[in-house]
Chain A
């Protein structure tokens, strides 16, 4: 158990470190080098000595551009360890960390709620499709579900905006809560938060529950055809016992793996949804900063999205042994991984698309 835990934790830390390093070098070595651009922009404005320019850039990016690259790298990592992500170019009065700290809860709210809702709807529909395979329900649902999982979430967002916000004004056009409520644990505020979250959540659920349904159907169908289910049937166990203890639990295993994989995708997809519904989450700020060429804020948002995804993945990994006890026993784990790899190949795609 301890080995399994340490392995996962080390892997997560390694990924975070790699992404930090990547973002550091990307900002400096890429064709559009934003740091150099800022320097020359300040130089163009004139009236500043070289040292002042260096200081301005250092204030925003947290490192001195004239330093050797390794010193910059060390400063950058130390800053981030202290929670200092620099200062947004467009709003020097605040810090990137402050903006992100305010935005992250909204993104997590949208992503978590829509993930849970679409998972539950998808699993329910998928199991029903596997149980009644030749029914009209399954034929219709197969079509509906394949159709919806192929429609990009941003187009659904535009449709919802067009119909429900612009034409009928049934839902607000932006924000996380109304201007007329005071944030805090009061009913008006909570209702306002829910009201503002409805459209972003609905847009994500519409486009993602279909993927879950198809995955669940595939998983349940392959379990239904397995030997131990047939053995249970021939022992005369009731349908209820079979569907709960045999089919249900075993077809959920690959679904949990996919749950972990799809978290990253949901975070990505929420960028579109947040931007269109002007919902002040991390994705919204990320796109704002891209459009305003505010690279320190952009990289801060990207880092935080990545860290959130890595941490949620780690949590799913740590909860996994509760669902599949074989995982913590090394010998059984090898076997489980081998069989899982074999059975997973048909549906190894993360739910929702290939850009997970």
Chain B
């Protein structure tokens, strides 16, 4: 409760973060309920292609005469699901390896850190593109695994350095003297202390995953099937949207949807940052 009142106070003072928070919430609701309320019909009618915005189609229509707005709404879910899944995997692996490495020390630490160094150095996006091209999957979970293939490494590094400083603190010393198990040590003693950092990183991991995910669809590396924002932009581009103003709404609506979501995530994460780091509030 303390956390919520802090959060509300910060959000009230920081309008950007407040708006960001509401937009993130709105997109989550859209991803959950959108596909239930709106359907992209299968009947294609070329007579209705590239209609300007109207009461029936507030954002106009695409080359097949289907409403752009309804596609945007339906397309929210696949983007959000993969983004959140990838962030969960990133956080899980990063926190687990970071805490283990920082707490266990010695050989375990060296081995985990060398592996982390490798994943930090290998360029993530090219690796993701290569993996996605070879696997060519439509399964959201597999796609999420691919997207988080290198993202966990930076987090593991940061968590390790926090675990290192926690290890020498009094309460961990006390727990060790009581002989608690390693599971208890990691889960009960260390995890709560890195929680805030993890929460912020979770939001940033979602934006990172969405960036790469949409990019894969844009480049045509991920299979083009179904409806999502990346596929919409890809189709609009390949139908020559750059060279005509007819399809401007079809091209720019999904772009706007992505930019608004990404910016909202960043502004909201900044507010979370100042809730958890009182130091930042003074500055």
A77 interface hit (Cβ, 8 Å):
no
A151 interface hit (Cβ, 8 Å):
yes
B114: which A residues are within 8 A, CB to CB?
11
B63 interface hit (Cβ, 8 Å):
no
Chain B nearest CB: distance from A45 CB in Å?
A: 22
B208 interface hit (Cβ, 8 Å):
yes
Expressed in whole angstroms, the Cα–Cα distance for A350 and B155 within the complex equals 10
Q: Which chain B residue shows the least CB distance to A337?
A: B161
Chain A residues with a Cβ under 8 A of chain B:
11, 14-15, 18-19, 23, 26-27, 30-32, 34, 133, 143, 146-147, 149-152, 154-155, 158-159, 161-162, 165-166, 221, 225, 261, 264-265, 267-269, 271-272, 275, 283, 286-287, 290-291, 295, 298-299, 301-302, 305-306, 309-310, 313, 338, 341-342, 344-346, 348-350, 353-356
A161: which B residues are within 8 A, CB to CB?
242
Q: Which of B126, B165, B212, B242 contacts A305 (CB 8 A)?
A: B126
B258 interface hit (Cβ, 8 Å):
yes
Q: Which of B204, B258, B277 contacts A152 (CB 8 A)?
A: B258
Q: List 16 A-B contacts (CB under 8 A).
A: A14-B118, A15-B122, A18-B118, A27-B134, A32-B135, A143-B16, A146-B266, A151-B263, A166-B243, A261-B120, A267-B125, A291-B220, A291-B221, A295-B133, A306-B127, A348-B155
B84: which A residues are within 8 A, CB to CB?
none
Expressed in whole angstroms, the Cα–Cα distance for A158 and B238 within the complex equals 12
Chain A nearest CB: distance from B242 CB in Å?
A: 4
B204: which A residues are within 8 A, CB to CB?
349, 353-354
* 10 closest Cβ pairs, A-B complex: A268-B125, A354-B208, A341-B161, A348-B158, A264-B123, A150-B266, A166-B242, A290-B133, A150-B263, A150-B262
The answer on a CB contact under 8 Å between A345 and B162 is yes
Do A154 and B215 contact each other (CB < 8 Å), given the known contacts A146-B270, A287-B221, A348-B158? yes
B255 interface hit (Cβ, 8 Å):
yes
B199 interface hit (Cβ, 8 Å):
no
The answer on a CB contact under 8 Å between B259 and A151 is yes
Query: CB-CB contacts of B262-283 with A at 8 A, as 1s and 0s?
Result: 1101110010000001000001
Expressed in whole angstroms, the Cα–Cα distance for A306 and B128 within the complex equals 12
B181 interface hit (Cβ, 8 Å):
no
The answer on a CB contact under 8 Å between B277 and A272 is no
The answer on a CB contact under 8 Å between A354 and B151 is yes
Do A286 and B126 contact each other (CB < 8 Å), given the known contacts A295-B134, A344-B161, A345-B197? yes
Q: Which of A166, A283, A345 contacts B161 (CB 8 A)?
A: A345
B158: which A residues are within 8 A, CB to CB?
344-345, 348
Q: Which chain B residue shows the least CB distance to A345?
A: B158
The answer on a CB contact under 8 Å between A356 and B150 is yes
Do A32 and B134 contact each other (CB < 8 Å), given the known contacts A155-B259, A342-B161, A355-B208? yes
Known: A150-B263, A348-B161. 13 other contacts (CB 8 A): A152-B259, A264-B121, A268-B123, A271-B125, A305-B123, A305-B126, A309-B123, A345-B162, A346-B277, A354-B154, A354-B209, A355-B128, A355-B147
Q: Which of B134, B151, B164 contacts A30 (CB 8 A)?
A: B134
A150: which B residues are within 8 A, CB to CB?
207, 259, 262-263, 265-266
Expressed in whole angstroms, the Cα–Cα distance for A263 and B237 within the complex equals 29
Chain B nearest CB: distance from A154 CB in Å?
A: 6
Expressed in whole angstroms, the Cα–Cα distance for A348 and B205 within the complex equals 13
The answer on a CB contact under 8 Å between B130 and A298 is yes
A147: which B residues are within 8 A, CB to CB?
263, 266
The answer on a CB contact under 8 Å between A158 and B233 is yes
Expressed in whole angstroms, the Cα–Cα distance for A26 and B131 within the complex equals 8
A356: which B residues are within 8 A, CB to CB?
120, 123-124, 150, 154
B112 interface hit (Cβ, 8 Å):
no
The answer on a CB contact under 8 Å between B214 and A152 is yes
B165: which A residues are within 8 A, CB to CB?
342
The answer on a CB contact under 8 Å between B259 and A286 is no
The answer on a CB contact under 8 Å between B154 and A349 is yes
Expressed in whole angstroms, the Cα–Cα distance for A23 and B207 within the complex equals 28
The answer on a CB contact under 8 Å between A152 and B129 is no
Q: Which of A26, A272, A344 contacts B134 (CB 8 A)?
A: A26
Do A299 and B161 contact each other (CB < 8 Å), given the known contacts A31-B135, A151-B262, A354-B154? no
A32: which B residues are within 8 A, CB to CB?
134-136
Query: CB-CB contacts of B182-220 with A at 8 A, as 1s and 0s?
Result: 000000000000000100010011011101101100111
A349: which B residues are within 8 A, CB to CB?
154, 201, 204
